[in-house]
Chains A and B, each alone.
Chain A
């Protein structure tokens, strides 16, 4: 941290001294570039960090600039009150444009936001109040303690202060729990939801942030140029902005700033041959997308592969403390659950109840409905009929994030780690148990947020240490061996302090030793007071690990009992082998039993 501050100091000094070496026109170009940098940060936050395709950023910019222009010239409001209202208006526009994100994502969202941006341009070019195609001129110079801001030099200092603030806020947001949740949502919305992230609110937050940055940029633009016209907010500028963010690196705030400043100067230098410039940046965008998806910000990592100082090692798991015995009660009860998909019955009248502190195995042939059952329990599917109760409370049909806060954690058959987050960040996402409504603190009490983040980080180290993952804390999951990824996923699930843990094929892809260690971990989790339900195909593991087994076939429960009972049940043997012909006779079974 101190090193970073030391690095920042010369940059800040250089930025402060910059105007002394520049001519008037160059100063103006720099002023505009800084405004684009602010816009780019906003776009980076929504698109790169939160993964929401937002092609309406220029419209937010326009809302900010036009609000100032209209309020100051038409109503005689002075600049700063108009500026505050402009920010509010841009945030409101962000909310409005963000609403479609609740219903659609990716290219659909892209086209809807782009359409709404076109609608905005259409409005300003036609509305008398917005000055039509000629725009609005004579916007007053912002007064500031007698400083003459009509000078591009002095305006630069105002911009610099604002820029430093918004940059710091963006960095703060991306590195805090909110930013982690947004990045988690970008990488895997389903898994993020299952870990307590309130996806709809997070999407809206992303659009609010982009509106906020658009508004700030807009009011600075109005104050700087004192003139607004539709072409500044055109689609081609939207694409320029997009190119800035992509070339700089959309997931990195600093990358966005560098991309914006760089491209703004390039554009200025090539103003006389703008068609060539557009050709150039079009080609660069295509090349960046195909060869350097992380943009400039990803280059250092691509060029200097960080060498590991020593070979990282998976440390042994540190067992949980055994919890004192609790009175027997039902942790999870599934009552007559049926789930149909378009006429296909995936689950039919499935009932089972799992007492607290039990390891329950769910087994059955392919397509017997095991994962569907997990999806119903964890809220991904709403059952067609039936009820789910957690510790006696009805939780049927609750959303995954609510269920996560209620104490259900799960892993996924095909692993759903957040691929571009470090192992530590994966765990941190799960540790954060706040509701999204908590985020008002980011503006009002940033120090409280910082304190909370520190406490989370402390606990993350504990979790990583317990699961023997400390050496991998800064690693990117997809580069780790599969066995370690599996363990990261369990660590992440346990970081959310669940009362019920659902494991979907935790042993898939593990070798013999790893399976043994997995069994040890799962037993310790049970002994710490957590109820565990596990879907597994490795029958050796199921038989030795589970206290009780439920067998599904064709969406129905066909057997339920202790491992020994289930293994000799003819219906089970038939489900697995196609026929009961290889089922042991009763005498053989008794014989087998005596052997053990």
Chain B
């Protein structure tokens, strides 16, 4: 039971990060129909930006996160500008284009920070809380808290602000949105920027949990994407549920199958989406053929 609870906490912590990554995928996908395979690499850049700033200048971790958000937000806008001609046109080409961007970001990270990677010190160096024998690392609480805060802010933005409403309108019907006076291109760019900001938050948080290295984006991106798919691509609640589910799947696979956790995770994931390609909260058209 104790082991179970311990794994549960680990799973939720990673799940919170996967949910952030998945939300970044989803918000871009639902506003512009673009699947951003470079998203994982943006997460990696976010992790590097935050950790570099945090470790070099000894500023509070929160400030480092904000810096990372600014950096990746800009990167997001650049990617969107480049791929704009392909929007809603050719799925395969867009997909490959974003993979190309992923390779570029990875190479840039190697050139700037070197290929070896770095360990990031834990920003909250206190003893884990002991709850009836289950040890809860304080950093886990921080991760879950920040992820919840980011989710809440996103929900507030989408629900309560004019720009958020406009972005949702574009996602639902871009022609009608234009007729309402909304600039679709600007809204798309904003969606991409927000996606990148979420990636930065995810990257900053995961830094101290993993070893930050240039290739971490690949696995993280794939897991975030898989989480988004599991929840139902394009759905925000789906991204959260999918992220947590994937985090738990990952944690229990690691607990029970040790080294083979990735194999088990991806096979289970493949089976799950085979059975229900639309995910938990999914859209209806998956098979576009």
Is there direct touching of A and B in the complex, by C-beta distance under 8 Å? yes
Measured CB to CB, the residues of A under 8 A from B are 47, 51, 53, 99-100, 103-108, 110-112, 114-116, 118-123, 125-126, 185, 189-190, 199, 235-236, 239, 242-243, 246, 275-279, 281-286, 289-290, 293
Among the listed B92, B97, B115, B266, which residue makes an inter-chain contact with A286, where contact means beta carbons less than 8 Å apart? B97
Tell me whether chain A's interface is mostly helix, strand or loop, or mixed: helix
Using Cβ atoms and an 8 Å threshold, which residues of chain A touch B286?
Answer: 103-105, 108
Task: Tell me the bound Cα distance from A104 to B86 in angstroms.
Answer: 22
**B104 at the binding interface (Cβ < 8 Å):** yes
Do the beta carbons of B219 and A285 come within 8 Å of each other? no
Do the beta carbons of B95 and A53 come within 8 Å of each other? yes
* Given the contacts A111-B225, A112-B273, A199 and B289 also touching, CB distance less than 8 Å: yes
Do the beta carbons of B287 and A103 come within 8 Å of each other? yes
Do the beta carbons of B82 and A286 come within 8 Å of each other? yes
Tell me whether chain B's interface is mostly helix, strand or loop, or mixed: helix
Do the beta carbons of A286 and B273 come within 8 Å of each other? no
Using Cβ atoms and an 8 Å threshold, which residues of chain A touch B274?
Answer: 99-100, 103
Using Cβ atoms and an 8 Å threshold, which residues of chain B touch A236?
Answer: 215, 218
Within 8 A of A (CB), among B142-159: none
Within 8 A of A (CB), among B31-76: 35, 37
Using Cβ atoms and an 8 Å threshold, which residues of chain B touch A289?
Answer: 86, 93-94, 96-97, 100
* Given the contacts A106-B91, A111-B229, A115-B270, A285 and B35 also touching, CB distance less than 8 Å: no
Do the beta carbons of A276 and B107 come within 8 Å of each other? yes
Using Cβ atoms and an 8 Å threshold, which residues of chain A touch B91?
Answer: 106-107
Within 8 A of A (CB), among B62-120: 82-83, 85-86, 90-97, 99-108, 110-111, 115
Among the listed A119, A235, A246, which residue makes an inter-chain contact with B263, where contact means beta carbons less than 8 Å apart? A119
Task: Tell me the bound Cα distance from A524 to B42 in angstroms.
Answer: 61
**B195 at the binding interface (Cβ < 8 Å):** no
Among the listed A51, A103, A114, which residue makes an inter-chain contact with B222, where contact means beta carbons less than 8 Å apart? A114
Pairs of residues from A and B, 9 with the lowest C-beta to C-beta distance, nearest first: A189-B289, A285-B100, A282-B103, A282-B104, A279-B107, A126-B259, A122-B262, A115-B266, A278-B107
The minimal Cβ–Cβ distance linking B76 to chain A, given in whole angstroms, is 15
* Chain A, residue nearest B29 (CB): A107
Do the beta carbons of A104 and B277 come within 8 Å of each other? yes
Among B83, B106, B219, B262: residue with most chain A CB under 10 A: B262
* Chain A, residue nearest B111 (CB): A275
Do the beta carbons of A239 and B107 come within 8 Å of each other? no
Using Cβ atoms and an 8 Å threshold, which residues of chain A touch B101?
Answer: 282, 286
Q: How large is the interface on B (under 10, 10 to 19, 20 to 34, 35 or more residues)?
A: 35 or more
Among the listed B104, B222, B270, which residue makes an inter-chain contact with A100, where contact means beta carbons less than 8 Å apart? B270
**B125 at the binding interface (Cβ < 8 Å):** no
Using Cβ atoms and an 8 Å threshold, which residues of chain B touch A115?
Answer: 222, 226, 266, 269-270
Task: Tell me the bound Cα distance from A281 to B277 in angstroms.
Answer: 33
Task: Tell me the bound Cα distance from A106 to B277 in angstroms.
Answer: 12
Task: Tell me the bound Cα distance from A285 to B92 in angstroms.
Answer: 13
| Known interface pairs A100-B270, A283-B100; 6 further A-B residue pairs with C-beta atoms within 8 A, sorted by A's residue number | A108-B229, A112-B269, A275-B115, A278-B106, A285-B103, A290-B83
Do the beta carbons of A278 and B266 come within 8 Å of each other? no
Using Cβ atoms and an 8 Å threshold, which residues of chain B touch A51?
Answer: 92
Task: Tell me the bound Cα distance from A123 to B264 in angstroms.
Answer: 9
Do the beta carbons of B97 and A118 come within 8 Å of each other? no
Do the beta carbons of A279 and B108 come within 8 Å of each other? yes
Using Cβ atoms and an 8 Å threshold, which residues of chain A touch B83?
Answer: 290
Do the beta carbons of A116 and B103 come within 8 Å of each other? no
**B288 at the binding interface (Cβ < 8 Å):** yes
The minimal Cβ–Cβ distance linking B288 to chain A, given in whole angstroms, is 6
Among the listed B103, B260, B267, B288, which residue makes an inter-chain contact with A278, where contact means beta carbons less than 8 Å apart? B103
Task: Tell me the bound Cα distance from A573 to B170 in angstroms.
Answer: 39
Task: Tell me the bound Cα distance from A461 to B93 in angstroms.
Answer: 34
Task: Tell me the bound Cα distance from A122 to B259 in angstroms.
Answer: 8
Among the listed A53, A243, A275, which residue makes an inter-chain contact with B100, where contact means beta carbons less than 8 Å apart? A243
* Given the contacts A275-B110, A278-B103, A108 and B259 also touching, CB distance less than 8 Å: no
Within 8 A of A (CB), among B267-289: 267, 269-270, 273-274, 277, 286-289
Among A116, A118, A282: residue with most chain B CB under 10 A: A282
The minimal Cβ–Cβ distance linking B23 to chain A, given in whole angstroms, is 16
* Chain A, residue nearest B41 (CB): A282
Do the beta carbons of A110 and B266 come within 8 Å of each other? no
The minimal Cβ–Cβ distance linking B74 to chain A, given in whole angstroms, is 17
